[in-house]
């Protein structure tokens, strides 16, 4: 290792570096000598003598260390020999390790080969074992499939058989002799298992046909318990599965439809038969002779008409409170008449209960993916029966309130089913809406047409002013319709129809007033009385709709017309004075002669004229409440007071007050007189 280190050092470079160092040292000594003023030749001799002395001392030291250097040289030689031997030894070790590495690589190769062989043998063993296991049919399995009773243990046998059937259905190793020999036995077991499973399921489905059978118990305790049998048929024989499914569908379809038919028939026996009291079907203005209105309400007074919801709100209350359907036994015992709306609610509630239970069963028994078509098929006949029953009851009926109640029942049931997360009946609810709305639209059209085509004079017997039958029917009908809570879309449809109807009613009242009453005050009074009756009913029930604003506006107009009519009749010159511009239009002074005439006329007749107005109002409004009479009278006298106050101010501004001070009636006297009548 020392030799290698020395070889790496260049001696020439070392000498050059030493010469440079010596030169630098000499230069430094020369500079110091020059700085002290020393003679250089003498200084050189001193240096040379010192060097010789040092050289001689070094030689003596070297001679003294001669033995040590020899010993060191010998030690270095010995170390070199040891290192050479170690180098040889390590070379031997390296050779041995190379041989060992080769042997290890050989062993690894052998090991990998053995592992591959072992893996292949295990795979072969597994395949052969699976093949043998799948190919061999244990005698116990074959005997159980052929003879064991169909129970929970039998389903385990079917699961084992299904594994073997899957192997044979895969079509692997079909050319092997064992496969060919066992395939016949496997097909025999497949057929036998299919036949026994089919027989078991069909026999239990037939149990549902027996009278008084609890459907839910059969479904829960038998069919659901053995639903793997159906899954087995679906996997091994789809034709048999379809046969069993169709048998179940047809059985339940007949069962549910027959139950609904019997139930509905029993309730319809107690269905109320109430018409409009005229042997026909009531319209807004008249009676439609054809047809017959039936089925109003269990708690509905026979004197009521088809326009009122009185007594029928309970139908919706029962639905909102989720009351159970009426039982047949309850119907037979009570013998009370039931509204068709109530019968429809009970029938549809029963139908919804059936559907809810059946929907959950179909999802569990047939699987979620296949359940919806099966569920729809189960209730085909029931839905058709309900739709036909509804169409039969609505045909010939003009009871729009009942129709809205049917829509409301449908809407509430749909909400209830939504809460249960059952959407399978949505198409049925849509079907009912599609069935009812055209009938309701037809009723509206009939009402509007009756208002347009009726002979208004035939409906007014004399000149007495009362609330017209049409106004009574209309206010009851509107209040009833708008009390029914429907979906937003349905309420928009109602609002559109109501807009058409209220205008038709308004036109009818105006036509009746013009054609049935001879004098203008009576015509206006008729309008006031009927508009007030309609509006009063709306406000009484707290109705919030466009009808309020419409009738308020028209009532205000009619009342103002009546006020002006009365004042124009009994204070004709005073009213004419202002109408003709005699009140000083464009700053012109009134005609003193005209003012004088008015002052004298008013002073002579105002009390008697107010008395006549009071009698007129009492006469015109004799058949209505005192509140309306008082209100109209106040409106007339208030307007009179406004006219006279304006006239009095005009007289004061014109400077004629002093001249006619004695003839002028004070406003205080008029107010006192008004209070006397308003008393």
- Work out whether the CA dihedral 671, 672, 675, 676 comes out positive or negative: negative
Domain boundary among 396, 423, 454: 454
In the chain, % of residues over pLDDT 70: 83
Q: Are residues 331 and 427 in the same domain?
A: yes
Residue 295: band (very low, low, confident or very high) from pLDDT cuts 50, 70, 90: very low
Instruction: Give the length of the chain.
Output: 679
In this structure, is residue 317 part of a structural domain? yes
End-to-end CA distance of the chain: 143
The pLDDT of residue 33: 64
Q: Which residues partner with 288 through β-bridges?
A: 281
pLDDT at 1 over 70: no
* Secondary structure element (H or E) that encloses residue 99, with its range: helix 66-135
Q: Which residue has the higher pLDDT, 667 or 300?
A: 667
In this structure, is residue 75 part of a structural domain? no
Q: What is the pLDDT of residues 306-328, one digit of tens each?
A: 787 777 777 777 777 778 887 87
Residue 38 sits in which domain range? 2-64
In this structure, is residue 95 part of a structural domain? no
Q: What is the pLDDT of residues 606-622, one digit of tens each?
A: 999 999 999 999 988 88
Q: Is the pTM of this model over 0.75?
A: no
Mean pLDDT of 564-584: 82
In this structure, is residue 159 part of a structural domain? yes
d(CA 672, CA 103): 139
Looking at 214-339, list the stretches that DSSP marks H as alpha helix, in order from N- to C-terminal side. 215-218, 227-236, 238-268, 313-320, 328-334
In this structure, is residue 125 part of a structural domain? no
Mean pLDDT of 542-553: 88
The pLDDT of residue 22: 59
Number of domains comprising the chain: 5
Q: Are residues 543 and 581 in the same domain?
A: no
Q: Which residue has the higher pLDDT, 567 or 142?
A: 567
Q: Are residues 352 and 500 in the same domain?
A: no
In this structure, is residue 89 part of a structural domain? no
In this structure, is residue 632 part of a structural domain? yes
Secondary structure of the chain: what % helix, strand, coil (to 5)? 75, 0, 20
Domain boundary among 557, 592, 611: 557
The pLDDT of residue 37: 67
Closest among 125, 379, 404 to 257, alpha carbons compared: 379
The pLDDT of residue 175: 60
pLDDT at 292 over 50: no
Residue 588: band (very low, low, confident or very high) from pLDDT cuts 50, 70, 90: low
Closest among 573, 660, 651, 566 to 617, alpha carbons compared: 566
Q: Are residues 478 and 438 in the same domain?
A: no
Q: What is the pLDDT of residues 505-534, one digit of tens each?
A: 999 999 999 999 888 999 999 999 999 999
Q: Are residues 416 and 275 in the same domain?
A: yes
Q: Are residues 578 and 551 in the same domain?
A: no
d(CA 629, CA 614): 9
Q: Are residues 432 and 329 in the same domain?
A: yes
Domain boundary among 403, 426, 454: 454
Q: Are residues 44 and 187 in the same domain?
A: no
Residue 388: band (very low, low, confident or very high) from pLDDT cuts 50, 70, 90: very high
Quickly list DSSP for 461-524: -SS-----HHHHHHHHHHHHHHHS---HHHHHHHHHHHHHHHHHHHHHHHHHHHHH-SSHHHHH
**Which DSSP symbol is given to 309?**
-
Q: Are residues 511 and 629 in the same domain?
A: no
In the chain, % of residues over pLDDT 90: 28
How far is the CA of 260 from the CAs of 96, 375, 646, 677, in angstroms? Answer: 100, 17, 77, 67
pLDDT at 273 over 70: no
pLDDT at 278 over 70: no
In this structure, is residue 448 part of a structural domain? yes
Q: Which residue has the higher pLDDT, 471 or 133?
A: 471
Closest among 613, 526, 539 to 571, alpha carbons compared: 613
How far is the CA of 140 from the CAs of 136, 160, 196, in angstroms? Answer: 12, 11, 17
Mean pLDDT of 20-25: 59
Q: Are residues 302 and 443 in the same domain?
A: yes
d(CA 134, CA 182): 10
Q: Are residues 305 and 446 in the same domain?
A: yes
The pLDDT of residue 9: 45
Q: Are residues 541 and 602 in the same domain?
A: no
């Amino acid at each position: 290792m020392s030799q290698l280190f020395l070889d790496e050092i260049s001696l020439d470079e070392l000498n050059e570096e030493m010469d440079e160092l010596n030169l630098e040292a000499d230069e430094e000594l020369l500079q110091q000598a020059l700085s002290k003023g020393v003679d250089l030749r003498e200084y050189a001799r001193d240096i040379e003598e010192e060097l010789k002395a040092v050289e001689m001392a070094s030689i003596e030291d070297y001679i003294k260390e001669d033995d040590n250097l020899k010993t060191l040289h010998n030690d270095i030689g010995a170390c070199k020999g040891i290192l050479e031997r170690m180098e040889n030894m390590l070379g031997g070790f390296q050779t041995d390790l190379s041989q060992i590495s080769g042997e290890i690589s050989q062993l690894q190769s052998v090991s990998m080969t053995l592992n591959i062989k072992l893996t292949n043998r295990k795979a072969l063993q597994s395949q052969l074992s699976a093949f043998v296991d799948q190919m061999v049919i244990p005698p116990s399995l074959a005997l159980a499939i052929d003879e064991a009773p169909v129970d929970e243990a039998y389903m385990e046998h079917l699961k084992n058989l299904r594994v073997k059937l899957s192997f044979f259905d895969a079509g692997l190793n079909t050319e092997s002799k064992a496969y060919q020999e066992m395939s016949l036995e496997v097909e025999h077991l497949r057929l036998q298992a299919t036949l026994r499973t089919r027989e078991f399921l069909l026999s239990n489905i037939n149990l549902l046909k027996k009278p008084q059978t609890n459907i839910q118990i059969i479904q829960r305790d038998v069919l659901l318990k053995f639903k793997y049998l159906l899954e087995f048929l679906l996997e091994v024989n789809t034709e048999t599965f379809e046969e069993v499914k169709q048998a179940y569908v047809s059985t339940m379809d007949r069962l549910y439809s027959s139950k609904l038919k019997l139930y509905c028939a029993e309730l319809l026996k107690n269905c109320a038969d109430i018409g409009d009291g005229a042997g026909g079907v009531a319209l807004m203005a008249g009676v439609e002779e054809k047809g017959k209105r039936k089925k109003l309400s269990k708690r509905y007074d026979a004197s009521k008409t088809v326009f009122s919801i009185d007594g029928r709100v309970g139908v919706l209350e029962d639905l909102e409170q989720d009351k159970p359907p009426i039982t047949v036994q309850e119907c037979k015992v009570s013998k009370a008449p039931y509204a068709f709306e109530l019968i429809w609610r009970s029938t549809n509630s029963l139908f919804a209960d059936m559907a809810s239970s059946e929907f959950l069963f179909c999802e569990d028994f047939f699987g979620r993916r296949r359940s919806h078509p099966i569920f729809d098929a189960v209730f085909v006949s029931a839905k058709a029966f309900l739709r036909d029953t509804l169409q039969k009851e609505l045909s010939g009926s003009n009871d729009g309130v009942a129709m809205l109640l049917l829509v409301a029942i449908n809407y509430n049931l749909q909400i209830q089913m939504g809460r249960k997360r059952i959407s399978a009946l949505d198409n049925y609810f849509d079907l009912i809406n599609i069935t009812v709305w055209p009938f309701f639209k037809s009723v509206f059209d009939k009402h509007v047409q009756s208002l347009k085509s009726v002979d208004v004079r035939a409906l007014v017997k004399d000149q007495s002013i009362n609330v017209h039958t049409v106004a009574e029917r209309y206010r009851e009908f509107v209040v009833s319709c708008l009390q029914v809570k429907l979906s937003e879309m349905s309420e928009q449809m109602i609002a559109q129809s109501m807009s058409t109807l209220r205008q038709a009613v308004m036109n009818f009242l105006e036509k009746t007033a013009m054609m049935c009453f001879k004098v203008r005050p009576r015509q206006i009074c008729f309008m006031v009385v009927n508009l007030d009756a309609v509006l009063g009913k709306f406000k009484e029930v707290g109705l919030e709709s466009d009808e309020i604003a419409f009738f308020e506006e028209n009532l205000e107009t009619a009342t103002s017309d009546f006020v002006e009519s009365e004042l124009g009749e009994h204070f004709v010159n005073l009213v004419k004075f202002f109408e003709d511009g005699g009140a000083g239009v464009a700053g012109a002074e009134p005609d003193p002669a005209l003012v004088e005439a008015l002052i004298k006329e008013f002073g002579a007749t105002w009390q008697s004229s107010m008395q006549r107005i009071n009698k007129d109002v009492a006469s015109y409004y004799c058949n209505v409440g005192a509140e309306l009479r008082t209100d109209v009278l106040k409106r007339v006298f208030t307007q009179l007071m406004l006219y006279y106050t304006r006239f009095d101010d005009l007289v004061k501004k014109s400077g004629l007050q002093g001249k006619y001070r004695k003839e002028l009636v004070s406003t205080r006297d008029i107010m006192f007189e008004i209070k006397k009548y308003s008393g």
